[in-house]
């Protein structure tokens, strides 16, 4: 693997793709610094070698052009404090002014570029835009695993301009190594737990995982589309009508391949989508009209626990219910605890995706999980066996 560990940055200007897509409050204060903190070892290695660091990232989803609330300048204060030096800022990520700033950098200097997505060339993977970025540095470092599944200008295309000088940062290298372990020879049985709101975003993942896992446990809003495919009654639960047939077909595929695909047998239902709604536990395929399922039930939890406790490898993405509502978090908490316990018993556990990671941290279980990925979509695509553009661009 081409990682920064073996690269000497002395006298070089490193153009680093980081993932600084952090949450900001109304006063533009960072509410969770995890992503910035995670990039620090990479930046420090470069500075320690006697190099300069040029940091580039996206932040939020700007529509067209610059937007104050998505400016990376809001990160300057924290970043300077964290790196214990004044970090300079370039008000545009490309262009003459920025090139001048980059050219003037001395060893130990750090320059933060403005939001890459203020240019639509970033998401389009535009070659000219990537060329503009490439003029800023002598070596390209990718340390943004969360966007590695996107073929954007700064995550993939720019690497072409550094044929002999492109490497993975520590964060990326760690992700590739840990996830690679699950990809190549997972300890069996291999169990995937998939939840979250919708089937639509995950049906392809589910199908691709059928070729890899022994057990697939379904939870979250997506369970109801499966329950309908089995002919159940789901009241006003979240159901994607147009995917009922696809869900049914997926269940048949699982059976053919000998994969145990489990769907909840009971659910905690509510008469409204709010925390203090009336609630009761019923059979998951017999939800009365006017009620909606917001969590998996205790019987399902017990069935899933049995499978998880016997697993050698566990992959988890997506909450089991609307865990943001304290009254409907039990399923998600229980599954998180069970995964932590199974990990203590020797299983290798891998969790990715904003909500599942938030859940694990909320319940204080983060340090009892083998690997918490900084990527949700990227992690799943990697495990599915797809080539990630951000990884491929460095390896080629
Ligand atoms: P996703 O982004 O697809 O992983 O979905 C995460 C969201 O799914 C969370 O915000 C949960 O509140 C939501 N969710 C989980 N279970 C349900 C459910 N039964 N009904 C509606 N939303 C759900």
Name the one residue in this structure whose structure tokens are 């904003």. 354
Q: How far is CA 213 from the centre of its chain?
A: 20
pLDDT tens digits, one per residue of 88-139:
999 999 999 999 999 999 999 999 999 999 999 999 999 999 999 999 999 9
pLDDT tens digits, one per residue of 231-264:
999 999 999 999 999 999 999 999 999 999 999 9
Domain boundaries of the chain, sorted by first residue: 4-173, 186-384
What pLDDT score does 184 carry?
Answer: 84
User: Among this protein's residues, is 352 annotated catalytic?
Assistant: no
Ligand 1 pocket at CB < 6 A: 196-198, 201, 220-221, 238, 293-294, 318-319, 321-322, 324, 353, 355
The answer to whether 154 and 131 have CB atoms below 8 angstroms apart is: no
Mean pLDDT for the stretch of residues 213-225: 97
To 5 degrees, how large is the angle CA 353–CA 158–CA 88?
80
What pLDDT score does 325 carry?
Answer: 96
| C-alpha 16 – ligand 1 centre gap (Å) | 34
Atom of ligand 1 nearest to the CA of 267: 19
Q: Is a pLDDT exceeding 90 seen at residue 347?
A: yes
Name the one residue in this structure whose structure tokens are 């404090």. 81
> How many CB atoms are closer than 10 A to CB 332?
28
Which tokens hold the place of 252? Answer: 């048949």
333-to-162, 321, 339, 357, 364 alpha-carbon distances in Å: 46, 10, 10, 12, 10
Mean pLDDT for the stretch of residues 212-224: 97
Going by C-alpha positions, the residue among 102, 95, 99, 163 that lies closest to residue 129 is 95
β-strands 110-113, 371-372: how paired?
A: unpaired
Q: What average pLDDT does the chain have?
A: 96
User: Among this protein's residues, is 257 annotated catalytic?
Assistant: no
Which tokens hold the place of 209? Answer: 């995982």
CATH topology for 186-384?
Rossmann fold (3.40.50)
pLDDT tens digits, one per residue of 146-204:
999 999 999 999 999 999 999 999 999 999 999 988 888 899 999 999 999 988 888 88
| C-alpha 322 – ligand 1 centre gap (Å) | 5
Q: Is a pLDDT exceeding 90 seen at residue 1?
A: no
Residue 355: band (very low, low, confident or very high) from pLDDT cuts 50, 70, 90: confident
Mutate to test the pocket of ligand 1, among 194, 197, 295, 380 (most ligand atoms within 8 A of CB): 197
47-to-22, 105, 142, 175, 324 alpha-carbon distances in Å: 23, 12, 16, 22, 41
Residue 365: band (very low, low, confident or very high) from pLDDT cuts 50, 70, 90: very high
CATH superfamily of 4-173: Phosphoglycerate kinase, N-terminal domain (3.40.50.1260)
> Rounded distance, CA 237 to CA 181, Å?
37
**Contacts with 224 (C-beta within 8 Å, 6 or more apart), sequence order:** 234, 237, 238, 239, 293
- Torsion over CA of 284, 288, 291 and 294, rounded to 10 degrees? 0
What pLDDT score does 222 carry?
Answer: 96
Q: Is a pLDDT exceeding 90 seen at residue 291?
A: yes
| C-alpha 230 – ligand 1 centre gap (Å) | 21
What pLDDT score does 28 carry?
Answer: 96
> Rounded distance, CA 139 to CA 146, Å?
21
Q: 334 in the Ramachandran plot: left (φ > 0), alpha (ψ -120 to 50) or beta?
A: alpha
pTM: 0.89
pLDDT tens digits, one per residue of 26-84:
999 998 888 899 999 999 999 999 999 999 999 999 998 999 999 999 999 999 999 99
Domains 4-173 and 186-384 belong to one CATH topology: yes
| Closest C-alpha residue for ligand 1 atom 17 | 221
Residue 384: band (very low, low, confident or very high) from pLDDT cuts 50, 70, 90: confident
User: Among this protein's residues, is 125 annotated catalytic?
Assistant: no
Name the one residue in this structure whose structure tokens are 């199908």. 207
Percent of the chain whose predicted confidence (pLDDT) is above 90: 89
User: Among this protein's residues, is 390 annotated catalytic?
Assistant: no
Out of 73, 127, 178, 198, the active site residue is: 198
> Could you say which DSSP state residue 201 is in?
T
Strand order of the β-sheet with 190-194 is 260-262, 215-218, 190-194, 313-317, 348-351, 371-372
Beta strand segments in 221-370, E: 233-234, 260-262, 266-270, 279-283, 286-287, 292-296, 313-317, 348-351
| C-alpha 352 – ligand 1 centre gap (Å) | 15
Which tokens hold the place of 228? Answer: 């309908």
Which tokens hold the place of 330? Answer: 């039990």
What pLDDT score does 357 carry?
Answer: 87
SS3 assignment, position 58: coil
């Amino acid at each position: 693997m081409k990682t920064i560990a073996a690269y000497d940055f002395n006298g070089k200007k490193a153009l680093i793709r980081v993932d600084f897509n952090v949450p900001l409050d109304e006063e533009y204060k960072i509410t969770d610094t995890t992503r910035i903190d995670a990039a620090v070892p990479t930046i420090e290695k470069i500075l320690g070698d006697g190099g300069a660091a040029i940091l580039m990232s996206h932040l939020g989803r700007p529509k067209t052009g610059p937007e104050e609330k998505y400016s990376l300048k809001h990160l300057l204060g924290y970043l300077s404090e964290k790196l214990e030096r004044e970090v300079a800022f370039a008000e545009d990520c490309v262009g003459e002014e920025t090139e001048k700033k980059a050219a003037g950098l001395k060893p130990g200097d750090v320059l933060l570029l403005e939001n890459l997505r203020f240019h639509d060339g970033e998401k389009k993977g535009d070659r000219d835009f990537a060329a503009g970025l490439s003029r800023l540095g002598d070596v390209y470092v990718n340390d943004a695993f969360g966007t590695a599944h996107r073929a954007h200008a700064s995550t993939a295309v720019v690497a072409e301009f550094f044929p002999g000088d492109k490497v993975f940062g520590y964060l990326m290298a760690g992700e590739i190594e840990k996830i690679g372990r699950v990809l190549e020879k997972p300890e069996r049985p291999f169990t995937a737990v998939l939840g979250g709101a919708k089937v639509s975003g995950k049906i392809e993942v589910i199908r691709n995982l059928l070729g890899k896992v022994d057990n697939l446990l379904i939870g979250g809003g997506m369970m109801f589309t499966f329950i309908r495919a089995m002919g159940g009654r789901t009241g006003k639960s979240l159901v994607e009508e147009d995917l009922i047939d696809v869900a049914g077909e997926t269940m048949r595929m699982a059976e053919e391949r000998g994969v145990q695909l489990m769907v909840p047998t009971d659910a905690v239902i509510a008469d409204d989508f709010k925390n203090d709604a009336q609630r009761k536990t019923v059979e998951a395929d017999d939800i009365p009209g006017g009620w909606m399922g917001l969590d998996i039930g205790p019987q399902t939890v017990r069935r899933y626990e049995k499978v998880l406790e016997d697993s050698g490898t566990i992959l988890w993405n997506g909450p089991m219910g609307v865990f943001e509502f304290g009254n409907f978090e039990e399923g998600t908490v229980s599954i998180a605890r069970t995964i932590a316990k199974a990990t203590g018993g020797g299983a290798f556990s891998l969790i990715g995706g904003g909500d599942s990671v938030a859940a694990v941290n909320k319940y204080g279980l983060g340090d009892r999980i083998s690997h918490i990925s900084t990527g949700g979509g990227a992690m799943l695509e990697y495990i599915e066996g797809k080539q990630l553009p951000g990884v491929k661009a460095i390896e080629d």
